[in-house]
Amino acid sequence: MFEQLVHINERPYPFSIYTADTLWTDPHIAQQMLRAHLNPNTDSASRRPAFIEASVDWLQARFHIGPGTRLADFGCGPGLYTTRLAQLGAQVTGIEFSENSLRYARETAVTHHLPIDYMHTNYLQFHSDKRFDLITLIYCDFCALSPAQRHTLLGIFRHHLADDGAIVLDVHSLVEYENFEEGVSYGRNQSGSFWTDEDYFSFTNQFKYDAEHVTLDKYTIFTPTRTFEIYNWLQHFDQDSLTAEFTASGLVITNWYANVAGEPFDPQSSTMAVVATKS
């Protein structure tokens, strides 16, 4: 027991363990995530509908989206953006590794007679002969990846971008980092809940890494039958650190915004969004 408590509370090296696949694809957790995506009153897995509408309006105007626009949405979830973008006439590809979210996205496409190409794959291994005018990665998913994974993903984006195509993504800023507080807590859910449908105890540890501007929410879940851990890492950026990563992948950031709804860049904002092209 003592050794287990030591392990629960020890500070792991940034991005040393990857559990995003469990977080999004475990059958029980994926159902909770889908519910969160579709809940119009929370920003927990997707942003609220009003923001998504504003975001799609901005993307449409900024990139002249319409019939003929070839668009790829990485980590498309249940298709809250892809559906709306396809309704503008764009040729949309959605890339997602949660089968549960993709099922919902595909059913929505059938209901609305939208020819969206949904691909069930890990976007870090994405390969296609298609080239895209616009590539999106929305809701700060870039921040959940390790430096090596971010480099891989930017390389995939560059490879699949049309010569005059653009990338749009958002990230957490250092303002968000400063607001994060370290902490420890534990609780019990006797009839099951977010993490599993079994009775469980959960330990939550929050760590901050000042040198790297990384935060970690670490969850250790004990059920009568198993123990598992979820590591939610987040990289936070300033303009210099984000520019350096794009430059290293042969990309250039051409515009800065506060978010993917195109609000003006604001140094006090908890997020930043960028438009980037091949350099």
Ligand X SMILES: C[S@@+](CC[C@H](N)C(=O)[O-])C[C@H]1O[C@@H](n2cnc3c(N)ncnc32)[C@H](O)[C@@H]1O
**Residue 122 binds to ligand X (criterion: CB under 6 A):** yes
> Contact region for ligand X (CB under 6 A) — 4-12, 61-69, 95-103, 172-180?
95-103
Q: Cβ(213)–Cβ(235) under 8 Å?
A: yes
**Residue 94 binds to ligand X (criterion: CB under 6 A):** no
What is d(CA 55, CA 65) in angstroms, rounded to the nearest whole number?
Answer: 13
Each residue 30-69 as x (binds ligand X by CB under 6 A) or -, in order, gives ---------------xx-----------------------
| Nearer of residues 139 and 209 to ligand X, judged by Cβ | 139
252 bridge partner residues: 277
Q: Cβ(86)–Cβ(92) under 8 Å?
A: yes
> Contact region for ligand X (CB under 6 A) — 96-104, 171-179, 200-208, 224-232?
96-104
> Contact region for ligand X (CB under 6 A) — 59-67, 91-99, 171-179, 232-240?
91-99
**Residue 101 binds to ligand X (criterion: CB under 6 A):** yes
| Nearer of residues 95 and 272 to ligand X, judged by Cβ | 95
Shortest Cβ distance from residue 75 to ligand X (Å)?
3
**End-to-end Cα distance, the chain:** 54
| Nearer of residues 8 and 119 to ligand X, judged by Cβ | 119
Q: Cβ(269)–Cβ(172) under 8 Å?
A: no
Site size toward ligand X, by CB under 6 A:
19
Residue selected from 97, 142, 203, 246 as contacting ligand X according to rule CB under 6 A? 97
DSSP per-residue letters across 67-109: TT-EEEEET-TTTHHHHHHHHTT-EEEEEES-HHHHHHHHHHH
| Nearer of residues 232 and 243 to ligand X, judged by Cβ | 232
188 bridge partner residues: 201
**Residue 98 binds to ligand X (criterion: CB under 6 A):** yes
**Residue 200 binds to ligand X (criterion: CB under 6 A):** no
- State which of positions 135-174 bind ligand X (CB under 6 A): 138-139, 141
**Residue 219 binds to ligand X (criterion: CB under 6 A):** no
Q: Alpha carbon of 210 to those of 7, 12, 45, 152, 174: distances in Å?
A: 21, 14, 26, 24, 11
**Residue 222 binds to ligand X (criterion: CB under 6 A):** no
> Contact region for ligand X (CB under 6 A) — 84-92, 104-112, 116-124, 198-206?
116-124
- Checking 148-156 for CB contacts under 8 A at 24+ apart, the result is 149/18, 149/124, 150/235, 150/245, 151/245, 151/248, 151/249, 152/124, 153/74, 153/123, 153/124, 154/245, 154/246, 154/248, 154/249, 154/251, 155/249, 156/123, 156/124, 156/126, 156/127
Binding site for ligand X (CB under 6 A): 20, 24, 45-46, 75-77, 80, 95-98, 101, 122-124, 138-139, 141
